[in-house]
């Protein structure tokens, strides 16, 4: 259990660094926490967030730019609402929601 909570803590620290108006992918967060094959575990970590927290979970989406919230407790509409409040454009296509990664992807190592 200790190892899992340490992993979750690392995930939360990375997610806290994603600035408002930007998004990161599950894969990107997994790579930053040195577990590049653990993208699915990032979703589990975000799902395990306590009810009262300050982690901007809404800023994490899948590698196609799609909101894939099945790993979280909140509905897709909440994630869409929160991202739009941060001026992230979210487009609906055939009942799915997408963010333009070219425009909104967080690039923490870019200079």
What's the CATH fold of domain 2-104? Arc Repressor Mutant, subunit A (1.10.10)
**pTM of structure:** 0.89
What is the residue extent of each domain of the chain?
Answer: 2-104
∠20-106-44 over CA atoms, to 5°?
85
| Chain segment 38-64, per-residue pLDDT in tens | 999 999 999 898 888 899 999 999 999
- The pLDDT of residue 19 is above 90: yes
Closest of 60, 56, 21, 17 to residue 39, by C-alpha: 60
Q: How far is CA 10 from CA 5, 26, 46, 75, in A?
A: 9, 13, 11, 25
């Amino acid at each position: 259990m200790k190892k899992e909570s340490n992993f979750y803590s690392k995930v939360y620290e990375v997610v806290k660094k994603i600035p408002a108006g930007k998004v990161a992918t599950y894969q990107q967060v997994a790579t930053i926490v040195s577990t590049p094959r653990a993208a699915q575990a990032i979703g589990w970590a975000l799902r395990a967030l306590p009810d009262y927290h300050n982690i901007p979970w809404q800023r994490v989406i899948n590698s196609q730019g799609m909101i894939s919230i099945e790993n979280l407790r909140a509905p897709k509409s909440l994630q869409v609402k929160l991202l739009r409040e941060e001026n992230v454009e979210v487009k609906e296509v055939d009942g799915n929601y997408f963010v333009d990664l070219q425009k909104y992807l967080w690039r923490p190592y870019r200079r």
